[in-house]
Structure formats: C-alpha cells, structure tokens
Structure 1
Amino acid sequence: MNPSDTHATWHRCPGCQQLHYLPRVRRSLGVCPGCGRHHRLGSRERLDLLADPGSFVPAEDLPEVRSVDVLGFTDTRPYPERLDGARRRTGLTDAAVYGTARIEGQPAVVVVMDFAFMGGSMGSAVGELVTRAAESALESRLPLLVVCASGGARMQEGPLSLMQMAKTGQAFGRLREAGILSVCLLTDPTYGGVTASFAMLGDLVVAEPGAMIGFAGPGVIRQTIGEELPEGFQTAEFLLEHGMLDAVLPRSEARGFLGRVFGAWHQTHGWDRAVGTAGALGAVAAVVRDPSRLPRQDAAATVRLARTSGRPTTLDYLALAFDSFTEFHGDRLGHDSKAIVGGLALLEGVPVIVVGHQKGRSTRESVLRNFGMPEPDGYRKALRLMKLAVTFGVPVVTLIDTPGAYPGIDAEKHGQAVAIAESILEASRLPVPVVACVTGEGGSGGALALAVADRVLTLENSYYSVISPEGCATILFNDAGQAHRAAEALRLTPADLLDLGVVDAVVREPDGGAHLDAAATAERLRAALVEHLTELVPLGAGELVERRQGRFRAFGAFEPFEAFGDQAAVVPLNHHTMGAQSA
C-alpha cells in the first residue's frame, strides 16, 4: 500500500510490518512513525515536500516529450499498452517532470523522477527531459536539482535507452564546465543506467536514509558472483561510508539543506559587508606580521604545546569561529576519510568552503580519525571539496593540524604520494582566494597538501616542519632522544617561520595556549581569516593564481656559482662521470 493512496486509512510498513494510521504517516512526510522507513513518494508529493508552496512552474514542453515504441517491443504486453497504462495510473506523460521552483526562496531548475511510472525507467523521453532541464539551468544560470528514483534504463527502448546515459552525462558535463551547481537527491530505489549516469554526476550527491542505490541489482550480483551480500549493502548509509555521497538526509532536513547550498551558490559576493567587522576584530586577533614582535620560543616547548590533546580541532573551530557549517563527505572513489573534514560554512554571513585535518579527543575517536593522519582518500576528498569552491565561486579556508600523512602500507599501495602531489598542484591553480592556518601540528607534505594558499597563517603555539623532530633526530643524529636539538635546528616555530617568510602572519593565542580558551582562540582566528579574505576577494582569478604561484616560486636559499680560477667547480653529470664518482 502506498502512503500517498488517498482511499486508504491504514498502512502496513514493509520495514517494521506494523499498521499505522495513514494520515499520521502523511503528516510524517511519508516516513514510518515506527521504524523511520522513508516510503516512496510520487513526483507531486516530492515537489510539495521540496518546493516552496506554489512556486513550481512546469516546463512548457513537458506534454510534447513522450516515449514511442521504436522497436515494436512486446514482453507480456506490447510496449504502447504499458505506456498507456502508466499514463492513466499516474497522470504523467512519462517517468520525469521538470520545471522551475523556489526552495527556501532560492530559484532552481528541478527534475523529479517518479518510480510509479514504469519503475522510473529511463527511456528517450526521460533522457530528453533531464537533458532539457540541464540545458535550461545552463541558459538561465540557475542551479539544478534532480530527484532520482529509477530501476535503470528502459529495456523496451533497447539501445536508444542506453544512449541516454551518454546524452545526460554530456549535459551535466556542460554544467560543470560552466560552473553551474548541480545536486542529485537519490531516493529509493536508484539503480542501473540512471545511477551510472547523471545520478552520480552532481556536484553534490545526497540520499534519503535507507535508499537502495547501485549499478547492478542485488539479485543480479548474487547470481553473477554466487556470494551472499553484506548487511546493509547498497543502502545510502553504505554508500556514505564508502565515499560516494556527500550526506544522507532525513526527509525533514532535505529542503533546508538544499536551501543552504543553493543560497550559498547564488551569493557570489558580499565581502564588503565584512570589512568593518574585520577592522573591529583585528585588535582582538593580535595578528603579528613582524617577526621582531614575537618572543623567541623554545622549539621543543612549542612542539609540546602544538600536540596538546586539548587544543581545539577543526570541528571545534567550525562550531566557534564560523556562523554555520554543512559537512560534505567522500572522495567519490570509495572512501570517506575521517581524518579530513570539510564542507560549506558561513563566515560573517558569507559562504566559504572549509577543509581541515581532524584529530580525536578520546582514544576511540583518535583511532577513528587516524590521529589526524590522512591516507590518500583524505587528500582526494580535500581536493574535491577545494574544487567545489570553484563551482560555488567562494573562498577556501584550510585548517591544518596533522603529524603528517599516514605512513602505512595501504597508503602507499593506494597512491599517497600521488594524492599529495595532485593536491599541491591543483591548489596552486584554484581561481578563488585560499587562506590556510596551521592550528597545531604542521607535519611535512601532509600539511603542505592543504597549505598551498594565498596567505598562510599559524597560531602562536603551532609548528610547521619538513619532518618531525623525532624523525629528524633519528635520521641525522642517530638518536631520537635528540629531538629537542632537532626541533631548534629545524626552525619550525611561528617566529622562525615568519622570519623565513614561510608564513604571512601569526595569530596570538590566549595566555597559556589555545587549549585553555578555545572560544577566545576561535574569535581571534575568525578575525584573522576575515581580515585576509577581505584583502584577497577583490582580486581577479588570474591575479590570485599568479600571485600564489609567485609566492611559492620565490622560496629557496642558494648561493650563486663561483668558479675557482679558470676551472669550473662543477663537473657535468653523464654516465661516465657518474660511474667515476660512484667508484
């Protein structure tokens, strides 16, 4: 029984098998009051749920886009009969509708699929409607929302249904190239050619709890590989855990989420409003740009403070220093690193993408977060989010606190070096402002992957180094006990880093350190971020990239070559000289 059936009074939930009073189920937005199962909704109910009342305007060309029987296909019934029956039952011309709507006041192009029409299968008409919706979004420069519910490609249309995968994929590609935001909301079920095309191509991909999502159906998989499937396989929660989704959204939260992300995308300026606040908070922030104003710190003591377990984490700063935060998940390649967190935040009412390392408080959480040491999936997730900032047209803020990238066998097998290198390369080319801040440990390339920025800040009791003091002491002094000596030699303190030009400013911490007053530290960090972003936002994309690359191009210390007498002091290397030198 469908909870949208207007003739029924009671509904038996297929999840908990309990009878529920149908009006109560409807008041719960089609969610079972007993077990929380999200029942399927028709396209009309879905639009009522997501769109502001009365705001949906169907596209004028909807009635003219109808599937036809090109193949003369008959299974137990001729295809035309199936189409006619589906049209009578649903009142739809095919398995999708599209038009424009407002969601929390934000205009968007919206496509909604309806599983009640031949299982939401994608034939030529559905492919055409999704493609036209994407083209409408491109022309009007409005974000696109696609609500997916489908068993896959429509078999009755044979190869032509297969071609819709490429057709819709191309349309999403054009949106991506133009920087038009697309969001796909996957509902139960989303399978086959729809999942393997536009459903997974949104800039953001979210799903309802318990939605079944996959390419091959579970029955096909069992038959093919002859194995039992793990519990929870192909559920939305399974996909979230494996990095394929940005979020799993209870039905009551979907409209708010969409309103926030569409609002952020529409808001492409506004930093002029933050200038006054930045000036007012600047004195509180006590940002230091002159190294002579900083006391010389004991390097070993600085390292100890940077590692203090009570120091605020990225999630703490997101709660204390920003107006709001909506977390996004996943690298889209099979993982969702817990050592990296990120998403869309508001700072002084202006959207930014924030990405940071995340350590744990308890032993259990520290293990879950891998002690803030990302594996390759963490850096791929971070890079995906930084690129998402380009689609939104908003700045990037990175918060760095890691002993380093995780040095493990699996990390090496899965391309740790490649992931870090690609993150460094792509960050250097982002056409939006980037501000990084070392909030604790800045360990080697694992830190640099998030620190290729227009401005690099550090908190007063943080460090940033090519290697840990212990690692340096072991390699160069053959004695890990010489870590204090190595720490001094590495010049890793904020005062040293400012003197060397590696960082642009130091944010003073409250007396005793950030761990003693997280709120005050967050207030100072907030002011510093606003101050630097206010300076950067007016710059054009080309100037930002040129300055950023010039900043890192200038690093290095070396002496000019000096000849000794009439003979050069350099012997060109070739296979003969290399052999002689090794001998």
Structure 2
Amino acid sequence: MNPLGWPGYEAQLGRARERSGGVESVSWRRHRDAVVITFDFRFLGGSVGTATGEVIEEAFTEARTARLPVVSRIATGGSRMQEGMLSLRQLQRVARLCAAHREVGLPHVSVLGDPTTGGLWASLGAGADVVIAVAGAQVGFAGSRVRPVDDPAYTAEGQFAAGTVDLVVRPDEVDATVARVLSLLTRGDAVPAEVPRALGASELPRDGWSAVSRARAPERPRAAAYLDDYFDVRMPISGDRAGGVDAGMLCGIGRRGERAIAFAAQTGTATTPAGFRTAARLIRLASRFALPVLTLVDTPGAANDVAAEKAGVGAAIAELFGAVAEARVPITTLVIGEGGSGGALALSSPEHTWITPDAYFSVIAPELAAAILKRDDVPQLADDLRLRPQDLVELGVVRGISER
C-alpha cells in the first residue's frame, strides 16, 4: 500500500478511511441494469492509486461477465502523488478496460462530478460512449492548482461547448438521465428504420428551379419538425470530441414505439467539419450497439470558408463517408430539403435513400454549377442537372418519394 515508501502515507490512508468509511477512493456495486463505479472525493480527493485500479478492474470484469453496462460516477483530482508513476500507469489500465468493454458491445456511461480533473477525465471520463456532466462541475485535464488561469473552459458547460460532453444536467437529473441513456443504448435490433412521412408539400415540382426554390423556402419543415414527428423521446449526442460542435447537425438516439433508433440530421445550414465528425461518431456508436440509423439530409453543402479548411473539412467528410461505408447497421436516409453536393451525399445511405416532394439532390447548387461552367441561365441549368425528386427516382439515385 506504500510502494514508494512515502513518509506518512499509511497514516493518510488511515485518516481517509476513517473520514469516508470506505477502504479506497473508488467502490463499485452491481445493480440489475448496470455495474456502477463510484468515486468518493473525501478519500484523498478521489485520487487513483494502484489499489484503485484494482477496484476499477474488478468492476469492469464483473460487468463483462454479467453482460452489463458500466456507469462511472466520477469525482477526482487525478492521480495519487504518493504512488508516483505506479499511480499514473493506472490510466493505461483504465483505457484497456474501457476498450475491452467496447469490444464486446457493452455501453459505458460516465457522469462527471465536481471536480473531474487529471488523468481520470482523460481516460475513464472522456473515454465513455456517452458523457454526462453535472452542471457547474469543474471538468478539465488541468486541476485548479496546476492550470495557468481560471476560465469557464474548465467547467462542465465549457466542455460541452467544446464538444467533449454530450449532456449537462442538474444533480437531481443525473439518475433519470443515466436510466434513459442506458434504456436507449440497450434496445438495438439492427432492423432498418422506417422512412419518415413527408411533412411539407405533396405535389411534385414542375421543373428544376421550382424544386430548388421550394427546398429553400423558409416555411418548409426542417429537421426538428421531422424528429418531433418521428420520435416519442430522444436524447442528444453532442460534439465531435475534437473541440468542435455544429448546431446545424442534430445527432442522438430516439425511441419510436419500443424501438431505439440513432439519428443524424442536418438543419439546412452549411455543415462544418465538427458536424461531419459528430455524425461519424454517432454512426460508429450505433454500430457498436446494433442501433439502426436514420439520417435527414438538408444542407446547401459543406462549409467552404477558411475556418472550415483549417479545421480539415475534406478529412471530416472522408471520415463520415468511411463511417457510413463501414457501418454494421442499416442506415435509412430521407432528403428533406437541399441536397447540396458531397456535404449532403456523405450523410446519405448508398442503398436506402428517399426524398420528399419539396427537396432536391444535386452534384452542386445550380448557381455554383453556372459559375463553374460559365453559364448565366441558372434556371435552365437546374433542369439540366435533373435534380427533382422524380428525376432522381428515374436515375436510380433515390429509392422513392416519401408521402404525407
């Protein structure tokens, strides 16, 4: 218990046990629906030593044996200084346990309490499938005694804004939120999602420019309306885990009747690299838990400004194409508005894509095609592109037109 021979460490452990009533900073318990790992900040600041690593390994082993999810309720200052590098190496141990749990298709949900800092945030916390943070909690790799400044970035809300946390909830909402997440993650059946019904116009456009104009109309139903109509309950998945969030890409898991279905939906804006990466993350998550995926396409195209290029928009689109191609679950796509170029195609199923009457799908927007081809007859060019729903069915690009 004192591998470095640290002066006074045994006495510190004794006082921590007396204060907390536990033998270590972490304990675990098997419940009916999950194995729950709980940190106690009263025990040397919830720090992690070699014995703590043993306890965490016991919990994950029990969960794999019983085929149960793991819920990690974290409150820690990080590694235990009194055990030096032997303490730090527990992060590798935790990462291996998380990876093994993912490999057998079992969910891991982390709850970030106040504080969650240091290596346990960078392993057990951020390494979970779904990350829930308690509102106002201090969350960050650097703890308060070692970071250069005090900044909102080191909070639950700051981490949510940076795309590393899925949900921020009040303390009294934690249990219900965890239960809802586990219920959705464990309902996968790998059966294709039904095609949503069309909510807008029912008649088909007479020409290409009419199709474009209707898709761009402000009154056309957007993704939020489709998701509200389709799902009974839904839970968001937020952020690309690389510092970015795109409010124009709605991702999550919803319940439709007794089924759980993952979704990624564009909201009509140009999709940023963070949006593509979040959608790719959602599809990979769905593949692990046999959740069918519904995608809603509605974008004029990928963001093409300087910021998008610097953030790797090409690589992000490639990542999403790859996630769709590698998906081990069925993906159903409905084009509900603008289907602009590769930014729309990346979110589309190669085999199971439908379209609504007030949408279009095109290699590029007609105006941009005109600029490339040096033509000024944009409406005629829209016809030439054959982007109407009925054209796309005839070409075999989409399987059919959704009806109201």
- Normalising to structure 1: TM-score of the pair? 0.66
Q: 1:326 and 2:242 equivalent?
A: no
> How many residues are paired up?
402
Contact 2:78/2:117 (<8 A) preserved: yes
Matched with 1:70 is: 3
Matched with 2:140 is: 214
CA distance in 2, matches of 1:389, 1:189: 30
Matched with 1:181 is: 107
Q: 1:96 and 2:22 equivalent?
A: no
Task: Out of 452-461 and 80-89, give the one that drifted further.
Answer: 452-461
Contact 2:204/2:389 (<8 A) preserved: no
Find 1:265's aligned residue among 169, 181, 185.
185
Q: Deviations over 1:33-54 (max 9, x none)?
A: xxxxxxxxxxxxxxxxxxxxxx
Find 1:205's aligned residue among 128, 131, 152.
131
Matched with 2:153 is: 233
For residue 129 of structure 1, report the CA deviation from its aligned partner.
Answer: 1.2
Matched with 1:424 is: 321
For residue 221 of structure 1, report the CA deviation from its aligned partner.
Answer: 2.4
Contact 1:323/1:349 (<8 A) preserved: no
CA distance in 2, matches of 1:343, 1:235: 23
Matched with 1:483 is: 378
CA distance in 1, matches of 2:374, 2:83: 72
Find 1:298's aligned residue among 199, 204, 207.
207
SS at match of 1:260: helix
Matched with 1:440 is: 337
Contact 1:99/1:111 (<8 A) preserved: yes
For residue 453 of structure 1, report the CA deviation from its aligned partner.
Answer: 4.2
For residue 216 of structure 1, report the CA deviation from its aligned partner.
Answer: 1.5
For residue 271 of structure 1, report the CA deviation from its aligned partner.
Answer: 6.2
Contact 2:190/2:329 (<8 A) preserved: no
Matched with 2:387 is: 492
Matched with 1:161 is: 87
For residue 266 of structure 1, report the CA deviation from its aligned partner.
Answer: 2.6
Return the structure number with greater relative CO, CA threshold 8 A, min gap 6: 2
CA distance in 2, matches of 1:316, 1:494: 21
Q: Deviations over 1:113-148 (max 9, x none)?
A: 000111000001111111221122222111110001
Q: Which structure 2 residues correspond to residues 536-551 of structure 1 after superposition, within 5 A?
A: none
CA distance in 2, matches of 1:304, 1:149: 53
Q: Deviations over 1:184-236 (max 9, x none)?
A: 100000111211221210001110001101112244222xxxxx444x23010
Amino acid at match of 2:308: A
Q: 1:504 and 2:402 equivalent?
A: no
SS at match of 1:197: helix
For residue 91 of structure 1, report the CA deviation from its aligned partner.
Answer: 1.0
**Pairwise CA RMSD:** 2.1
CA distance in 2, matches of 1:311, 1:338: 19
Contact 2:118/2:141 (<8 A) preserved: yes
Amino acid at match of 2:213: R
Amino acid at match of 1:325: R
Q: 1:467 and 2:372 equivalent?
A: no
Matched with 2:266 is: 357
CA distance in 2, matches of 1:247, 1:325: 13
For residue 424 of structure 1, report the CA deviation from its aligned partner.
Answer: 0.8
SS at match of 1:428: helix
CA distance in 2, matches of 1:91, 1:229: 33
The alpha-carbon distance between structure 1 residues 429 and 220, as it changes in their structure 2 partners (threshold 3 A), is same
SS at match of 1:405: coil
Matched with 1:46 is: none
Matched with 2:249 is: 340
Long gaps (5+) in structure 1: 1-67, 223-227, 287-293, 360-371, 509-523, 525-583
Find 2:172's aligned residue among 241, 244, 252.
252
Matched with 1:59 is: none
SS at match of 2:106: coil
Matched with 1:565 is: none
Contact 1:264/1:392 (<8 A) preserved: no
CA distance in 1, matches of 2:146, 2:179: 38
4+ residue runs of structure 1 moved beyond 4 angstroms?
none
Contact 1:433/1:454 (<8 A) preserved: no
Amino acid at match of 2:374: F
If you compute each CA radius of gyration, which structure gives the higher value, 1 or 2?
A: 1
Q: 1:112 and 2:38 equivalent?
A: yes
Q: Deviations over 1:450-470 (max 9, x none)?
A: 003441010011000010011
SS at match of 1:473: helix
Contact 1:150/1:194 (<8 A) preserved: yes
Amino acid at match of 2:294: V
SS at match of 1:70: coil
For residue 357 of structure 1, report the CA deviation from its aligned partner.
Answer: 0.7
For residue 150 of structure 1, report the CA deviation from its aligned partner.
Answer: 0.4
Amino acid at match of 2:307: D
Long gaps (5+) in structure 2: none
Amino acid at match of 1:82: Q
Contact 1:271/1:350 (<8 A) preserved: no
CA distance in 2, matches of 1:269, 1:413: 39
CA distance in 2, matches of 1:206, 1:453: 33
SS at match of 1:220: coil
Q: Which structure 2 residues correspond to residues 45-56 of structure 1 after superposition, within 5 A?
A: none
CA distance in 1, matches of 2:21, 2:226: 51
Contact 1:379/1:423 (<8 A) preserved: yes
CA distance in 1, matches of 2:143, 2:236: 29
Q: Deviations over 1:60-112 (max 9, x none)?
A: xxxxxxxx1111102xxx0000111111111100011102124xxxx101100
Amino acid at match of 1:258: V
